[in-house]
Amino acid sequence: MTTQTVIQAMADKVLAGDRRALAQAITLIESGRDDHRIKALALLDLLQNSNREALRLGLSGTPGVGKSTFIESFGMMLVAQGLKVAVLAIDPSSARTGGSILGDKTRMERLTREPNAYIRPSPSQTELGGVARRTREAAMLCEAAGYDIILIETVGVGQSETVVAQMCDVFTLLLAPAGGDELQGVKRGIMEMADLILINKADGDLAAAAQRTCADYAGALHLLRKRAQDPDGFPKAACVSALQDTGLPEAWEDIQHLVTWRKSQGLFVKTRADQARYWFAQDIRNGFLAQLERDPYKQKIIDLAEKVGQGDMSPSRAAQLALASLRSAPINDANT
């Protein structure tokens, strides 16, 4: 078979909802090899207009907040409604350690066994930009494979929330019950991204604390400037218990209400277009800068940095010489 035939066959299987083909396709887009990248782009071209639309739901929460339990309970509820659910992850720590949030699938034992659920660990990458592109492309593959909901989770540290929010239709922040002081633990920037703040563990001894925390956040959200993408009452804060399955149907109703409203206003499509253009710009930037990490430029830059460090040349002059040596820089297509 020619390469084109192989890729077409893979695309057909993904469109037919073949789980194994989906897994292979995601592995292909995650590969760092140049020849794999060419195939991955061809595959994405074939699936670009599948005319299928999944709801992309972002979920952020710090470790200990009960994220795995929430995804399991929420995912099981959706599956019970006849929906197909895919779970992806962006783990900023995997950029450093190669580890992965979802590496241990035993944390979502029931959901893992569901034929209508697909769980994929975070790709390991050296930098967040790379993880972001691969997860965004994996979401697109899951959408083409006929999944209705794509849950993209991330640990609430650093920049990964921004990355997830930029590839989701709805962004949910999961928090644990806490004292008033800890309200400041959530960065303003992250709170401003949230469409829905869910206080988990609203059960047992923590039920009262969860109610208080929820009221605190509802008050804080009220102080933020209204965004164009919000219907009345949003962003909102609510209590859930992933352990006791309470509040989950209500959260799902809220999400659906939000999506329906945004679609009616033309905002759903607009946000997706904005996001696609954002990622296009990011990809160009990253691909362009990647040239600097390759020989012969890399060595040239190291040599010039040496002179700069010794005070023999101004940083400005050295940068000008380095850029001059990039004059006919060949851009490697496969690594865009």
Q: Are strands 236-239 and 85-90 parallel, antiparallel or unpaired?
A: unpaired
Binding mask 174-193 for a copy of itself (x = CB under 8 A): ----------x---------
Residue from 274, 293, 294, 298 in contact with a copy of itself (CB under 8 A): 274
Cβ 228 to a copy of itself shortest distance, Å: 17
Q: Compute how many residues bind a copy of itself; rule: CB under 8 A.
A: 54
Rounded least distance, CB 186 to a copy of itself, Å = 14
Of 106 and 316, nearer to a copy of itself (C-beta) is 316
Structure tokens of 117? 């659920």
CB 8 within 8 A of CB 46: yes
Positive or negative, the CA dihedral 258, 260, 265, 270 is positive
Which residues from 115-144 bind a copy of itself, rule CB under 8 A?
133, 136-137, 140
In order, the DSSP letters of 100-140 are -GGG-GGGGHHHHH-TTEEE-PPPP-SSHHHHHHHHHHHHH
Q: Give the nearest distance from C-beta 39 to a copy of itself in angstroms.
A: 12
The residue among 109 and 303 lying less far from a copy of itself, judged by its C-beta, is: 303
Closest to 54 in 3D by CA, of 259, 317, 208: 259
Round to whole Å and give the CA distance between 46 and 25. 12
Q: 203's torsion region: left (phi>0), alpha (psi -120 to 50) or beta?
A: beta
Shortest Cβ 330–a copy of itself spacing (Å): 6
Per CB under 8 A, residues contacting a copy of itself are 40-41, 44-45, 48-49, 133, 136-137, 140, 184, 272-274, 276-277, 279-281, 283-285, 287-289, 291-292, 301, 304-305, 308-320, 322-324, 326-331, 333, 336
